[in-house]
């Protein structure tokens, strides 16, 4: 897979393997089998999806990635993107030594001396220490423990505050998809102007954007926390009927391009200005052949116009990036905010 330059000198695959699906507790019904998860990581890397996204709070995943790395011929060809997510109950009394401790723990779990990207998340802006935490990450970068510092889920005013304060992140990981276009309210433009690469999650809406849900009745019970999260996004998008219209259109586009709905949906987002990569969650290798096609799919002007006509009728989600997840009880209640 042809790589893209995320920030000067740092190249990644434009499709990233998402690791949340491998964490303990992600599935509400099934557990992950360690040996196959490790061999799946190797298969993705050999196929060209060389960038892995995971997090300090994805239970068990950093250790799993570390084990996979030790069995890969050239581990330096793998791009490791973790996160730093301080516990919510600690934010008022935040001590920046936490950043150092958590990054050291990530390196230890991964068995590496430097991680390529640490993406910083902060649960509550009312607790003001996020700039101190970010500054500490930049110090760790200076010390060589982190190659690049990124952020995830911060809104535009906070990103502007970081840049003005001299802490410009290399990347912003955001929920950005055909269903959720909140980043288009200023965030995308600012990232482009400032050379901050956008890494998108949610591009297949936890699997909702797939043949499995085409013409299916609206579900009321869910297998994964991801499904719970994205069903709320579908509700905000305009509900199940409008979502079905979109799925039907994406299905016909997928037939034209000889691929599947999820691939078209991810390709739609990858082609957006400012987007450097899409992060697609993987429980196993079943979607890998289609995931590899994502950068190859170019939608025609008429396909794009048909999609736009449906999106024009959608009602949301609206508001700043991640505000619903931060402040709206429906969205917020599925988050685990003290996992570290």
Ligand X SMILES: NC(=O)c1ccc[n+]([C@@H]2O[C@H](COP(=O)([O-])OP(=O)(O)OC[C@H]3O[C@@H](n4cnc5c(N)ncnc54)[C@H](OP(=O)(O)O)[C@@H]3O)[C@@H](O)[C@H]2O)c1
Query: Across the strands, what pairs with 201?
Result: 175, 279
Subset of 66-125 contacting ligand X (CB under 6 A): none
List the one residue from 18, 169, 197, 320 that touches ligand X (CB under 6 A): 18
> Residues 42-61 vs ligand X: string with x where CB under 6 A?
-----------x--------
Element (DSSP H or E) covering residue 39: helix 34-47
Q: Which stretch binds ligand X (CB under 6 A): 14-22, 35-43, 267-275, 297-305?
A: 14-22
Distance CA 155, CA 187 (A): 7
Single out the residue of 197, 152, 209, 223 nearest to residue 13, CA to CA. 197
Q: What are phi and psi of 167, to 5 degrees?
A: -115, 75
- The least CB distance from residue 27 to ligand X, in Å, is 9
- The least CB distance from residue 33 to ligand X, in Å, is 14
Please work out the total of residues on this chain that contact ligand X, with binding judged by CB under 6 A: 28
Name the closest residue to ligand X (Cβ): 18
| First and final C-alpha spacing in the chain | 34
Helices (H) and strands (E) in the chain, counts: 13, 10
Single out the residue of 138, 122, 120, 133 nearest to residue 83, CA to CA. 120
Q: Is 47 exposed, middle or buried (0-12, 13-18, 19+ CB in 10 A)?
A: middle
Nearer to ligand X, 252 or 309 (CB): 252
Q: Is 257 exposed, middle or buried (0-12, 13-18, 19+ CB in 10 A)?
A: middle
Q: Is 308 exposed, middle or buried (0-12, 13-18, 19+ CB in 10 A)?
A: exposed
- The least CB distance from residue 288 to ligand X, in Å, is 9
Q: Which stretch binds ligand X (CB under 6 A): 37-45, 96-104, 136-144, 287-295?
A: 287-295
> Residues 247-286 vs ligand X: string with x where CB under 6 A?
-------------x-xx---------------xxxxx---
Nearer to ligand X, 61 or 73 (CB): 61
Under rule CB under 6 A, residue 236 binds ligand X: no
Under rule CB under 6 A, residue 20 binds ligand X: yes
Nearer to ligand X, 267 or 310 (CB): 267
Under rule CB under 6 A, residue 226 binds ligand X: yes
Nearer to ligand X, 312 or 329 (CB): 329
List the one residue from 173, 269, 314, 340 that touches ligand X (CB under 6 A): 173
Distance CA 79, CA 171 (A): 14
Distance CA 17, CA 140 (A): 25
Nearer to ligand X, 27 or 95 (CB): 27
- DSSP, collapsed to helix, strand or coil, labels residue 145 as coil
> Residues 185-224 vs ligand X: string with x where CB under 6 A?
----------------xxxxxxx--x--------------
Give the binding site for ligand X (CB under 6 A). Answer: 18-21, 53, 152-153, 173, 201-207, 210, 226, 260, 262-263, 279-283, 287, 290-291
């Amino acid at each position: 897979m042809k790589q893209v330059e995320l920030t000067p000198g740092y190249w990644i695959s434009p499709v990233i393997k998402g690791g949340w699906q491998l964490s303990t507790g992600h599935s509400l019904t099934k557990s992950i089998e360690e040996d196959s998860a490790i061999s799946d990581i190797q298969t993705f890397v050999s196929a060209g999806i060389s960038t892995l996204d995971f997090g300090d709070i994805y239970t068990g995943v950093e250790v799993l990635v570390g084990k996979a790395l030790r069995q890969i011929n050239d581990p330096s060809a793998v791009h490791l993107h973790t996160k730093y997510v301080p516990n919510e109950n600690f934010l008022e009394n935040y001590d920046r030594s936490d950043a150092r401790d958590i990054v050291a723990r990530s390196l230890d779990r991964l068995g590496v001396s430097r991680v390529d990207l640490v993406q910083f998340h902060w649960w509550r802006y009312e607790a003001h220490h996020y700039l101190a935490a970010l500054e500490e990450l930049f110090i760790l970068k200076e010390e060589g423990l982190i190659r690049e510092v990124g952020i995830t889920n911060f809104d535009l005013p906070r990103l502007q505050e970081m840049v003005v304060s001299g802490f410009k992140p290399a990347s912003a990981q955001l929920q950005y998809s055909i269903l959720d276009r909140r980043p288009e309210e200023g965030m995308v433009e600012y990232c482009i102007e400032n050379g901050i690469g956008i890494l998108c999650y949610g591009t297949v809406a936890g699997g909702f954007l797939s043949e499995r849900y085409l013409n299916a009745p609206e579900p009321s019970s869910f297998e994964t926390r991801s499904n719970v999260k994205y069903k709320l996004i579908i509700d905000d998008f305009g509900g199940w009927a409008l979502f079905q219209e979109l799925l039907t259109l994406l299905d016909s586009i997928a037939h034209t391009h000889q691929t599947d709905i999820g691939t078209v949906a991810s390709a739609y987002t990858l082609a957006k200005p400012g987007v450097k990569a899409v992060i697609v969650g993987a429980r196993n290798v079943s979607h890998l052949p289609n995931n590899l096609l994502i950068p190859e799919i170019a939608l025609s002007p008429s396909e794009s116009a048909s999609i736009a006509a449906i999106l024009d009728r959608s009602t949301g989600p609206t508001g700043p990036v991640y505000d619903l997840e931060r402040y709206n009880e429906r969205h917020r209640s599925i988050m685990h905010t003290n996992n570290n």
